[in-house]
Amino acid sequence: MVPAPSSPALTPALLTAIAERFGTPTWVYDLDAMDAAACALEAAFGDAPHLVAYAVKANSAGPLLKRFAARGLGADVVSGVELALALATGISPVNIVFSGVPKTHDEIDRALLAGDRGILALQAESAEELHRIAARATTLGRIARVAIRINPELASIDTHQGIATGHDDAKFGVPVSDLAPAYAALAAPSLAFQGLSVHAGSQLLSTGDYLDAARILLQTAKDCPRRSELRFLDSGGGFGIDYGDQEPVPPARFVAETRALCKEFGFGDLPLHIEPGRVLVAPYGHLLTRVVQRKEVTAGGSKRRWLMIDAGMNDLVRPAMYQARHRVTPVAGVDSLKNCIDFRVVGPICESSDDFGFHRLPEDLPDGALVLLRDGGAYGYPMASRYNGRGFAAEVFVTGGAVGAAKEREPEQAFLDDRLRF
């Protein structure tokens, strides 16, 4: 049996109806399942002080952000536009942290001017950035609430190198071995020190590297010359999911083990912040696509079979960028693999990297059949492009077993107007 998607509300009948109404490719999300995942993660903290700051970069769609805002989640943003999205969808400024390197003067200003007092914290990643934030705060007559993101300088991180962030050659954070200049920068009267944060990497399948980074964060907090000013500690995100052949640790275990470490280091009563993205949305969003044709040739003494679909790397770039694997399954389902063969699933983009890998699928899968590229609810649409003149796919949010909010596929004319407006 081929495993069913982790979104049972997305039935074959509903997916077929969505394809008929919106065409393909179309992103389809189970909004209720995403909400339930957020609820479960919140519950993992019990009564402990905390903030779940959803990483907006994972999926920035308005219906999702509004649902998370209604649940009381905060937001981790990495651009001025993401900040505007978080605010526009109802997330309180006091629950927003601004991460990322570097932040422009305009982005700093927008963070400082949000609400009555600005956002919860600008997470500075260098002494130079702290000086820039202080200067903007002085100009605006504001007090900038800041945190320092540390780089734990881990020797290695068990994830793809493109999404490892806590090693000593990463552009992120202040190395723990060189914190003195950042601490000195906090002396500026326009800065209010709030906390320390860390981020080891993304798609972490075990707690090992995450907890190693958390230990360094906690030891840094313990040794911090301004320890008494700490208002929170932020252990970051990166909780991994199962893309088909992995066994990730449940997110509740990340929370439990990090909370235990906080108590061990004497910070059990200090609010713990986390920045999950992928784990809340990836398993509950899928790219609905259609088989265009099969191709079979004999080359190099062996038979080669391609299954060509109408979705490409412009829609889902992760396989091309990170060699990520997304399961491909027919919407109609497969009762047995006995009549299946290995197809190399590829898209229409004129790049050899437009390749979704080998998948075992029915030998007689016809042209026009609907298939799902699964577990793309994170870093799918947000990383999409118009490459080869292919517009952005439609997006559909399912709630209560039916289509709720939806956005049509970008019309061809919109692309033409953009390219011919000069």
Catalytic residue annotation: 350
Mapping DSSP onto H, E and C, the string for the chain reads CCCCCCCCCCCHHHHHHHHHHHCCCEEEEEHHHHHHHHHHHHHCCCCCCEEEEEEHHHCCCHHHHHHHHHHCCEEEECCHHHHHHHHHCCCCHHHEEECCCCCCHHHHHHHHHCCCCCCCEEEECCHHHHHHHHHHHHHHCCCEEEEEEEECCECCCCCCHHHECCECCCCCCEEHHHCHHHHHHCCCCCEEEEEEECCCECCECCCHHHHHHHHHHHHHHHHCCCHHHCCEEECCCCECCCCCCCCCCCHHHHHHHHHHHHHHCCCCCCCEEECCCHHHHHHHEEEEEEEEEEEEEEECCEEEEEEEECCCCCCCCHHHHHCCCCCEEECCCCCCCCCEEEEEEECCCCCCCCEEEEEEEECCCCCCCEEEECCCCCCCHHHCCCHHHCCCCEEEEEECCEEEEEECCCCHHHHHHHHHCC
Q: What is the CA radius of gyration of the chain?
A: 23
For the chain, how far is it from start to end, CA to CA, in angstroms? Answer: 54
Q: Return d(Cα 404, Cα 30) in angstroms, integer.
A: 10
CA 309, 310, 315, 320 dihedral sign is positive
Q: Cα 222 vs. chain centroid, distance in angstroms?
A: 30
Q: Is the peptide bond before 181 cis (omega within 30 degrees of 0)?
A: no
Neighbours of 15 (CB within 10 A): 21
Task: Spell out the residues 6+ positions from residue 43 whose beta carbon is closer than 8 angstroms to its own.
Answer: none
